Amino acid sequence: DSGVTQTPKHLITATGQRVTLRCSPRSGDLSVYWYQQSLDQGLQFLIQYYNGEERAKGNILERFSAQQFPDLHSELNLSSLELGDSALYFCASSASGDTGELFFGEGSRLTVL
C-alpha cells in the first residue's frame, strides 16, 4: 500500500461528458502529480501541484484542469470527453517539490464510450 488513494477505480462515461478524478496523497506529502497512461502514448506527465500551487505542466489538454485543495488532496477534471481520453489516470505524491521518491496510487481507469 503506497498510501496514495485514488477514486474512482473505474469509470465509464459517454463522449461529451465531464468527470472528476480524486487523489489523496500520502500523509505529509506536499506534491501531487497526475499522469495519463494510454495504449498508444504510454505514460505522460500531465500536471504537478505543490502545496496548493501549480508547479509544473506537461501534456495536459485545455479540456482538462486540476487543483490541489488546502487539505492537499487533488482533483483532475476532464471535460468534453472524447474516445481518445480513455486511459488509466495515475496520481503520485512526493514529499518535495522537486521529484523525490514517488508513491503512486492504483489509478483510475476511464472508459469513454
Partner 1 sequence: KNEVEQSPQNLTAQEGEFITINCSYSVGISALHWLQQHPGGGIVSLFMLSSGKKKHGRLIATINIQEKHSSLHITASHPRDSAVYICALYSGGGADGLTFGKGTHLIIQP
How many residues contact partner 1, by CB under 8 A?
A: 27
What is the four-CA torsion angle of 98, 103, 105, 109, rounded to 10 degrees?
60
Q: Which of these segments, 21-29, 45-53, 66-74, 75-83, binds partner 1 (CB under 8 A)?
A: 45-53
Distance, in Å, from the CA atom of 86 to the CA atom of 94, rounded to the nearest integer, reads 26
Q: Residue 75, Cα to own-chain centre: how many angstroms?
A: 7
For residue 12, state whether it binds partner 1 (rule: CB under 8 A): no
Chain centre to alpha carbon of residue 78 = 10
Output 16 or 95, the one with its CB closest to partner 1.
Answer: 95
Residues that bind partner 1 (CB under 8 A): 2, 33, 35, 42-48, 55-56, 58, 88, 90, 92, 97-104, 106-107, 109
